[in-house]
Structure 1
C-alpha cells in the first residue's frame, strides 16, 4: 500500500466519499475505517524518530605500521564514508592524564594530526580519541572514577589533546568497569568538563551488560552522546566447534540461552530494555572474523568439530582471527555459505573455516539499525576492509554500509 496524500489532505477529505457502496452498513464501515486511519496518522505525526545516520569508524592506528597490503595510513580513510573517526588508542598515565602509546606513529609520523586533517575533506566529520582498549588495564580508569583530582587531570588532559591535535571528543573504551558508581562518576565528570566546550563523550561497551557489573544504563544515557555496543566476539576459539563471530540473530540449532544472549539482536534489545535511548545506540559491525581448523575437512558446517584456532593472518597477526582484507586476499577460492537464520556467512576451504561478515550481512545489520531507530553503526575496524579489491570493489563493506544507510 502506498499513501501519496498528505495528512492534511486526508484530514480534509469528506469521509462519506471514502466508500461509495450503496448500503448504510457499507457507508458506516467506510466511516469507521476512515476514523481509524485518522487516529493512526495523528499518532505517528506526533512521534519523533531519530535518523539512523551515524557511521562511526574506528581506526586502529597501528595499521599504518603493517607491511605490504596490510598497510593502511590515515590518508587511506575515505572521510566521506564516515560520520565519526575514532583514533584507537591513547592510554592513561598513572596520574590519569592521557598518554601517547606509540610516539613514533602517533606524533613523529603525525598519525594524530593526519586523522584530524580529514576534516578538511569532510567538514562535517567528527574525530575522537579512543582511550583504553582490550589490552588496557582498569587501574587508571578506576583511579579517575574514584579520585576527583585525578578525574579533573584526565578531563583537562583530554581537552589539551583536543586543542593540540584538532579532535572533537573522547571515546572511553574501558573493558570492563565492575562498579556502576565508579563508572558513573568517571563519565559524569568528563561530561561536565567537556560540555561547556562542545566536546563529545562516547563509550564502547560490552554487548551483554549482564556479564559485567559496571553499567548503570539509564544514568549513562543521560550524559553520553553515543553508546557503541560491541556486538561481536560472541563465539571464538574456546568452544571446540565452528561458530559465528557476530550473528545478528540466534541460530535455529542453538540453545535458548545462546539465542537470548549470543547475538547482536539480543545485545541491542538488552541495552534498549535497560534504559538506553535508541538514538544514542550504535550497533557494532566487525570487519574481521574468527577462524578455526576443522577436525574433518568433510564436516564443514556450523557447530562442526575443530582442532583449534586458525593461524594468524600476516597483517593482523591474531591467532584465530583474520581481517576481512586477509579473508579476501588469501581465501578467495573458499566456499561461502550464508546463514539465513543468523544473517551472517561462513567460509570453508580445505580444513580452514571462518565465521565473518560480508556485504550481505552488513546490509542486514544496517537495516536492523534503521528498524530499531538506532543512531547508526560503528565499525571495528576500517583498516581491515578490502582496500585492494581482492573481493571486488575497494572498501566494499564500508561502501555497502553507506549505501544502505542512505537507502
Structure 2
C-alpha cells in the first residue's frame, strides 16, 4: 500500500478508487503459430501463459470488403483455421474455466488492397448490410465457444507530426491536440455516430445471448473523433487502449524517441497527448469508468537506423535517423523487435543501454533505450522499449487509474525464456505487481 501512496504523490494525478479485481487481457495473434523456426509460438507454449491472463483476445479475424462478413485470416485456409485453431478454445476453457476468451476482428493485419476503406464503408452502409457483419461475427463466437467479441476497428490514423520544432503546449481544441491541423477524416462526426449505432446493434445481438463485447482502440486513432465515450460506456464491457507506438520508425523516420511513455516529458518538444497518462485520463474524464479501462503495454520495441549525423550520445530525441531498421528473422517487420530479440541486441559489443534521464520524476516512466552509434559506412541502431521496470510502473499505474492492463501481444514476449530464463517475463511481471501491491490473486 505504501507503494501506491508514493506513486500517487509522484504522479500528481487525480485520485481514483482502486478496484477489487484487475484484468490482465492477453492478446494472441494466431499468425504467431504460422512463423517458422524458433519464432513460432505453438499452442503448447501459448498455454503456459494462460494461468496469468484473466482474458485472452484471440485474433485476428478479417472482414471481406464485398459482403462485410467476418472470416479468418486471409493467408490461411478458412477450414484449417476453424478445425485446427478454434478447436483449441474449448480445450483451453475446460482447463482454465475462469479464463474468458474473446475473438477479435480487425487489427492491423486486415489489409485489403481491393477495399482499402472497407471499415469506413461498413459504417456508411445500410443496417441490412451491417447485419451481415454482426451475424457472421456472432456465429463464429457462438459456434466455436468463445466468450465474446473484441472489436479492433480500423479507423484512419492520426498523421504523424515531427517531434522537433513542435511547441509542447496544449491547444484549445481537443481535436487539434490529437491531430494538429491535419484533418484525416472530414466526416469524422458522422462516422462517430455510425460507429455508435453499429456497436449498439452488436451489443444487442451479443448480450442477448450472454456474450461479452470489448473494444480495442488501436494506436494513433483519435478518440475524440470516433468514440462517443458516454454512450459506449453502456454498450461495451471494457476497452483496451493501444497506448504505444506513439513514435515509430515508419511514422517518424527522421527522429527516434520513446514509443510508449507513461507520462509527458516536456524537456523536449514532445506532443503532450502521446503518453499513457493523457490517453487514460481522457477516457476517464469523458465518463468512462476506470474499472472498464485497460492500459495497453507493448512487448515489442521500435528500432531506428542511425546515421553519422545522429550523434554519439543516444539521448532522445535522436535526430537525423534513417527510418526503420531491417526486419528480424522472428518478427519479419521493418523497425520492430520482440522482447527476446531486444535482449540479444543489447548484449552485442558496442551497445550502450540507458534509462530515462536521472533528473526526471522517477525512473522507467518514459522507457529504456539502447543504441549502437554509426561508424563510417555502417549504420547504427537505436531501440526504444519497455523493460521490466517500465512495465512494473505501468502496472502500478493501472492499479490506481484503470481496470487492468492489456498486453500486446504474447507472441513478442520472451515465451521461451531465452533471456529471463523463465517464460513470459513481461506477463509474469504484471501479474506479480498486481499480487504484490494489493494482494490480488489472478491464478
1:225 pairs, out of 233, 237, 260, with 237
TM-score, normalization by structure 2:
0.76
Change (3 A) 1:116 1:254: farther
For 1:382, the equivalent position in structure 2 comes to: 410
Q: Higher RCO, 1 or 2 (CA under 8 Å, sep at least 6)? A: 2
For 1:345, the equivalent position in structure 2 comes to: 368
Change (3 A) 1:103 1:377: same
For 2:55, the equivalent position in structure 1 comes to: 84
For 2:68, the equivalent position in structure 1 comes to: 96
Separation in structure 1 between the aligned mates of residue 419 and residue 228 of structure 2, nearest angstrom: 42
- Matched residues, number: 361
For 2:138, the equivalent position in structure 1 comes to: 159
Shift of 1:61: 0.9
Separation in structure 2 between the aligned mates of residue 209 and residue 385 of structure 1, nearest angstrom: 24
Change (3 A) 1:208 1:271: farther
For 1:247, the equivalent position in structure 2 comes to: 261
Asked whether the 8 Å contact 1:287–1:382 carries over to 2, the reply is yes
Separation in structure 2 between the aligned mates of residue 383 and residue 87 of structure 1, nearest angstrom: 12
For 1:322, the equivalent position in structure 2 comes to: 337
Of 105-114 and 117-126, more deviation after overlay is shown by 105-114
Residue 292 in structure 1 maps to residue 304 in structure 2: yes
Shift of 1:390: 2.7
Consecutive unaligned residues of structure 2, counting only runs of 5 or more, are 3-14, 111-115, 157-187, 374-379, 437-443
Where 1:236 maps in the other structure, the secondary structure is: coil
Separation in structure 1 between the aligned mates of residue 256 and residue 325 of structure 2, nearest angstrom: 11
Change (3 A) 1:294 1:132: same
Matches within 5 A, 1:8-27: none
For 2:322, the equivalent position in structure 1 comes to: 307
Shift of 1:220: 1.0
Of 103-112 and 378-387, more deviation after overlay is shown by 103-112
Asked whether the 8 Å contact 1:141–1:174 carries over to 2, the reply is no
Consecutive unaligned residues of structure 1, counting only runs of 5 or more, are 3-43
Separation in structure 1 between the aligned mates of residue 275 and residue 344 of structure 2, nearest angstrom: 27
Higher Rg of the two aligned structures? 1
Of 242-251 and 386-395, more deviation after overlay is shown by 386-395
Of 291-300 and 184-193, more deviation after overlay is shown by 291-300
Structure with more of its chain in helix, by fraction? 1
1:150 pairs, out of 129, 146, 168, with 129
Separation in structure 2 between the aligned mates of residue 48 and residue 387 of structure 1, nearest angstrom: 33
* RMSD between aligned residues: 2.5
Asked whether the 8 Å contact 1:95–1:140 carries over to 2, the reply is no
Change (3 A) 1:160 1:329: same
Structure 1 consecutive aligned stretches of length 4 or more whose deviation exceeds 6 Å: none
For 1:53, the equivalent position in structure 2 comes to: 22
For 2:183, the equivalent position in structure 1 comes to: none
Shift of 1:160: 1.6
Of 176-185 and 137-146, more deviation after overlay is shown by 137-146
Change (3 A) 1:108 1:129: closer
Asked whether the 8 Å contact 1:52–1:375 carries over to 2, the reply is yes
Shift of 1:381: 0.9
Matches within 5 A, 1:108-127: 110-127=84-101
Separation in structure 1 between the aligned mates of residue 278 and residue 86 of structure 2, nearest angstrom: 36
For 1:131, the equivalent position in structure 2 comes to: 105
Change (3 A) 1:207 1:315: closer
- The superposition leaves residues 213-269 of structure 1 with CA deviations (integer Å, 9 ceiling, x where unpaired) of 2111111111011111110011112251221111111224223x61x2111111111
Asked whether the 8 Å contact 1:208–1:261 carries over to 2, the reply is no
Asked whether the 8 Å contact 1:138–1:176 carries over to 2, the reply is no
Separation in structure 2 between the aligned mates of residue 377 and residue 148 of structure 1, nearest angstrom: 34
Matches within 5 A, 1:168-187: 168-176=147-155, 178=188, 179-187=191-199
- The superposition leaves residues 157-200 of structure 1 with CA deviations (integer Å, 9 ceiling, x where unpaired) of 22221222111111111121741111001100000011121101
- The superposition leaves residues 133-161 of structure 1 with CA deviations (integer Å, 9 ceiling, x where unpaired) of 12435425642664222233222222221
